[in-house]
Amino acid sequence: MSKVVDAARHDSYLLSVDLLATLQGYVRRRLVAAGVASDLHLVGGHSIHAYRVTGTGAGPPVLLVHGLGGSANGWARILRALARDFSAVYAVDLPGNGFSPLPASGPLTLEEQLGVLHAFCHEVVQAPAFVVGNSLGGALSVILAATHPEDVVALALVAPAGGEMTRESLVELMRILDVRTTRDAVRLTRRLFHRAPLVAILFAPELKKMHATAAVRALRTHAQERHHIPPEILAGLRAPTLLLWGASEKLLPREQLEWYRAHLPSGARIEVVKGFGHVPQMERPRELVQRLRAFAAETGLLGVPAAHDAAH
């Protein structure tokens, strides 16, 4: 069993004069005020922050996994919407990201992050979950579903990383993610969205701090060294799988989509969605929820059809 720790002990995150911490804290306070629980759990020997919404639906719990440089706050606009159809919704901050402190031993490897994610499923969620992963979180979710099928009842990959790409594409992606200047930050921000909102452009310089953290630097290095998920991992997937790829995807190369198309099991559902960029949970939350709910209903997770709710 996990042990819930008083998250207020870590409010130094919120009291920091750093603009990014202030913004993150503001989002957290708004979520808590709206009834979203914000807890720290001791899982796998690490202190992990997660949001939780107790749902009113018949569906299984949902677990939302952020990508490189992201946090649970990135899912803020879909937490309560998903709770209408599922029994619970969790959004986790991986160690060293968001409100999860960096382990005393230093940044974790991808394998260690995966171990923490598995421990969170086992000790906190305590039931097979509908796991939704974005970007690097999508790659982690694929491996979780393949190596710990007891954790995952269904899988949704939103602009997933982890596919094989050419050396040139990998070098270019790492260059884009190496955010050192305000110009770099604005360039990355524009690549994340179908159409970057003004507020995202205004806060783009804060990405320099986010991408300079030890956790993000380490994960970027590990991802570069690992290159891609072994295809046999995908072949071992048994959970119903949905892959959503934005027609306006500007961060990951198209070859990522084609690699997943070639290696996911034949029953996987792949949708290229007009108006979606790399982070539709932030830009098009309503449409994302509609597609997730429709997939869950069609695969029997909700017990009722939802074709009329699907976005086309």
> pLDDT means per 10 residues in the chain (312 residues)?
48 44 87 96 94 96 95 96 97 94 90 95 97 97 97 98 91 89 91 90 80 80 76 92 98 96 95 97 97 97 57 36
What one-character DSSP code corresponds to residue 21? Answer: H
Report pLDDT digits (tens) over 67-85.
998 899 999 999 999 999 9
Give domain status of residue 156, yes or no: no
Helices (H), the chain: 12-15, 19-33, 79-82, 110-120, 136-147, 167-177, 182-192, 198-202, 207-210, 214-226, 231-235, 254-263, 280-283, 285-298
Give domain status of residue 71, yes or no: yes
SS3 (DSSP) at 63: strand
Give domain status of residue 157, yes or no: no
Q: Which two tokens stand for residue 79?
A: 């937490």
Give domain status of residue 207, yes or no: yes
| DSSP states of 219-282 | HHHHHHHH-S--HHHHHT--S-EEEEEETT--SS-HHHHHHHHHHS-TT-EEEEETT--S-HHH
Give domain status of residue 203, yes or no: yes
Question: Positive or negative CA dihedral for 307, 141, 22, 213?
Answer: negative
What is the reported pLDDT for 17?
Answer: 35
Give domain status of residue 108, yes or no: yes
> What gap in Å lies between CA 77 and CA 305, rounded to an integer?
24
> What gap in Å lies between CA 58 and CA 39, rounded to an integer?
24
Give domain status of residue 47, yes or no: yes
- In the chain, the largest separation of any two C-alpha atoms, in whole Å, equals 50
Q: Which domain holds residue 26?
A: 3-150+162-309
Strand partners, 37: 52
The whole-model pTM stands at 0.89
Q: Which two tokens stand for residue 240?
A: 């119903």
Give domain status of residue 155, yes or no: no
Strand partners, 52: 37, 90
Strands 3-5, 37-43: pairing kind: antiparallel
Residue 197 sits in a domain whose CATH number is 3.40.50.1820
What is the reported pLDDT for 278?
Answer: 97
SS3 (DSSP) at 131: strand
User: For the chain, what is the domain count?
Assistant: 1
Strands 269-273, 46-54: pairing kind: unpaired
Residue 55 neighbours by CB distance under 10 Å: 20
SS3 (DSSP) at 136: helix
> What gap in Å lies between CA 237 and CA 273, rounded to an integer?
23
Sheet holding 129-134, edge to edge: 3-5, 37-43, 46-54, 88-92, 62-65, 129-134, 152-158, 241-246, 269-273
> What gap in Å lies between CA 71 and CA 76, rounded to an integer?
10
